[in-house]
Structure 1
Amino acid sequence: MLLAMLALAPLASVSAAEQVAGICGAPGAPNGPRIEVVVSGARKVAGNMTITLYGSRPDAFLARTGKLARQRVPLHSTQAEACFAVSTPGIYAVAVYHDENDDHDFNRTLLGMPAEGYGFSNDAPTVIGLPSFDSVRFQVGPEGGRVPIRLRY
């Protein structure tokens, strides 16, 4: 019995350090650091800015079920802001797209090229394909942080 409890002890500490996020001020949002995301450069004031926060796992970045939290912010100007409350300081990443037609999908052209604006934390380059996790990740300390992102079209 004692051996079984000792074997499970490391699992309990791993899950306690698990990253959790929510919208600042929302019920159930963590009380940890805050990440303020400021997106600029929308080519027109239409639709929403979809801002997605990812945690420290590289394999979860841009994966369909890998996000920690997402906000869809209606556009009232060419800039949008979102605030995420996170459970713990650590490594995070942000991906953004301007959902101009508000269909909750990142639209592409017939050639597969982006039809809507997009951006990533650290203004990571996207010359050929998607950026690597290493190029978009950033460190959040106990005091939180601000992440500026400029859209590309």
Structure 2
Amino acid sequence: MKLKSLCIFVSNKKINVVSTLVKILVILVFTITVAHAQKENTQDIIVNISGLDNDKGRLLVGLYNSEANFLDQRFMSVIGEISNKTGKVVFTDVPEGIYAVSFIHDENNNGKMDTNFLGIPKEDYGCSNNARGTMGPPKWKDAKFELKGESKIITITL
């Protein structure tokens, strides 16, 4: 009996077992190779936040990947816990590129930044590079950083 001619019959259909196994093996190897190649060009972004007013609530941290989306549409988001007026979050498997980080200290856990009647934030907030806005939100050019080659630690101090 030749290995190439090993066949089975399923519901009156002839199936070549070796050919089918080879096809499955090729697909499996291709899938693993592609998944591994994609993972190689990703890094982690570790965000350390200090100087918060208190330990109430949680941190809502956003990662942005373009100026057009900055502070409007997050590329990734993480919710972080607060302890001793500090917090730490990690964005994992982030592709290399240009990014900015922003956070709000959601003291009352309502999922948004609370402002007064003039639109001035009542809760702590901040951005990467400690970027601050003048009469408005921080600018992309001040908050952006490059993620390339190794994980990045971002420290935001209020």
TM-score (norm. length: structure 1): 0.73
- 1:38 & 1:75 partners in 2: Cα distance? 11
| Higher RCO structure, 1 or 2 (CA under 8 Å, sep 6+) | 1
Alignment match, 1:42 = 52
Q: Which residue of 69, 90, 107 maps to 2:114?
A: 107
Contact map agreement 1:88 1:142 (CA 8 A) in 2? no
Question: Deviation digits for residues 86-141 of structure 1, max 9, x if unmatched?
Answer: 44211010011100111111000122110000000001122210111111100111
RMSD between aligned residues: 1.4
Q: Structure 2: give runs of 5+ residues left out of the alignment.
A: 1-37
Alignment match, 1:51 = 61
Indicate yes or no: 2:43 matched with 1:33. Answer: yes
User: Which 4+ residue blocks in structure 1 deviate beyond 2 angstroms?
Assistant: none
Equivalent pairs counted in the alignment come to 119
Q: Which is worse superposed, 80-89 or 136-145? A: 80-89
- 1:76 & 1:125 partners in 2: Cα distance? 24
TM-score (norm. length: structure 2): 0.71
Structure showing greater Rg? 2
Alignment match, 2:97 = 90
Q: What amino acid is aligned across from residue 61 of structure 1 in structure 2? A: F
- 1:86 & 1:123 partners in 2: Cα distance? 24
SS of the residue corresponding to residue 84 of structure 1 reads strand
- 2:110 & 2:97 partners in 1: Cα distance? 32
- 1:98 & 1:140 partners in 2: Cα distance? 25
Q: Structure 1: give runs of 5+ residues left out of the alignment.
A: 1-29
Q: Which residue of 132, 136, 139 maps to 2:139?
A: 132
